[in-house]
Every structure is written in structure tokens, then in C-alpha cells.
Amino acid sequence: MSAFSARSLLLADNRRMLGKLLVVALLMFGFGYALVPMYRAICEALGVNVLSLAEQRRGDAAAGRSGNTQVDMTRTVTVEFDANSRGPWDFKPAKASVTVHPGELATVMYEFRNKQDRTMAAQAIPSYAPKQAMAHFNKLECFCFNEYTLKAGESKQWPVVFVIDPKLPKDVTTITLSYTFFEVGGKTPPAPAGGLLRPTAGVAAPESRL
């Protein structure tokens, strides 16, 4: 075989290898790009809103709009609160439900107690029912935005401050906000001071921010 033929075969092999590598790279890029919408679709299908920076930004945006939100006095929405604890915690809302007008600022307290004899880090994940209510449930403050630590036997009360968007579909009259509280690892920020907000009968506005 001549040197020219050998060189031609080598170049052809190199081109085939380059083509295969490009196909693999494109497939990997496409798979990584598709993970985000797939993940969101799965979470929406399950009715679970896994905590993310996006939710914090949505809360910040709601806080900016809250001063200009018109309260719809012609409608009322019942918000039910639920708590699931995956671990050695006492975890529950201070009240089972509140009735609010869309556009009205509301506060509910959640109570926590670490029943373990050691310090534990934990975080809460919210979910909503019905699913379409999630886009209209704007949390201005929530313990679910971060991970926190509780010492052995320590108890805390933390607030959820929220506004129901007046654009909530009129056929939705009841929303269930459920939190799952579970232990996580890693370094966490200090817990917010308990008792900063106190619920009153019905709906109360927050006295101070975390």
C-alpha cells in the first residue's frame, strides 16, 4: 500500500471518529438541556414545588407588587394548612385554615420542635392543591426558602406571609398548602428568630421581616 493510500485511510478514520465525537457531544448537550423542563414537568405532575431560587424570586416579585395589589372584597378563599414530618420532629401549623380575600396580606405561623438529642439541619418543601393555585400563591416570607438548624429539644415558631393573586380562577375557592419537613445535611444558615410574628384572629399582617 502506498503512503498516499495509508494517509487517506488515516484521514478517513479521523473524520469518522470526529463525526462520532460530535454526535456524542450533541446528544449530551441535548440531554442536559432537556433535564430542566423534564424536572419541572415531573414536579408539576406530582404537585410538588421543590425549593429553588426561582421561588424566592417569585416571592420577591410578589413583595414588590403587594403594595399595589387591589383586594377583591367580593371573593373569599379558604387556605388550608398541612404538615408532614419526615423525621423526629413535631411540626404543625398554628391554625388549620384561614379565610382571606384575594390580594389581602395574610400570615400563618408554623411550630417546630426537634425531638432528637442532637442538633439537626432541616428544610421544608411546599406543595399545593389544586395544582393551578401554585402560580397564584405568592409567599413574601417563608421558612421554606432556606435550610435551618434546631438544637436538641429546641422549639421555634416561623411565619409564612402570603398573598393570593386576584387572578386566581374564580372556581378555586379552597387552596391546600402542605409542607414536608425533612432532615438534610451540610452547612446551614442560622434559624430565624422565633416569635417575630404573631397571628391574630383571622388574618394578620407581619410586624417585621426575617
109-143 residue pLDDT tens: 999 898 888 888 888 889 999 999 999 999 999 98
Write the class of the CATH domain 53-183: mainly beta
Is residue 197 scored above 90 in pLDDT? no
Comparison of pLDDT for 43 and 26, the residue scoring more: 26
pLDDT at 15: 73
Tell me how far CA of residue 27 lies from CA of 31, 56, 74, 168, in angstroms.
6, 32, 53, 40
Place 2 in a pLDDT band, splitting at 50, 70 and 90. low
Place 196 in a pLDDT band, splitting at 50, 70 and 90. very low
Cβ-proximal residues to 189 (8 Å cutoff; 6+ apart), any chain? 146, 147, 148
Highest mean pLDDT among 15-24, 41-50, 90-99, 199-208: 90-99
Average pLDDT rounded to a whole number, residues 36-42: 50
- Cell numbers representing residue 13 in the block: 478514520
Burial state string for 12-44 with b = 16 or more CB within 10 A and e = fewer than 16: eeeeeeeeeeeeeeeeeeeeeeeeeeeeeeebe
Is residue 152 scored above 70 in pLDDT? yes
Is residue 21 scored above 90 in pLDDT? no
Q: Look at residues 70, 50, 205 and name the one whose alpha carbon lies nearest to residue 140.
A: 205
What is the distance between the alpha carbons of residues 32 and 18, in angstroms, rounded to a whole number?
21
What is the distance between the alpha carbons of residues 175 and 161, in angstroms, rounded to a whole number?
15
What is the distance between the alpha carbons of residues 120 and 106, in angstroms, rounded to a whole number?
30
Global pTM exceeds 0.75: no
Average pLDDT rounded to a whole number, residues 27-47: 52
Average pLDDT rounded to a whole number, residues 172-189: 79
Is residue 180 scored above 50 in pLDDT? yes
pLDDT at 190: 52
What is the distance between the alpha carbons of residues 139 and 121, in angstroms, rounded to a whole number?
22
Return mean pLDDT, the chain.
74
45-89 residue pLDDT tens: 444 444 444 455 555 555 555 455 589 999 999 999 998 876 677
pLDDT at 130: 95
pLDDT at 198: 40
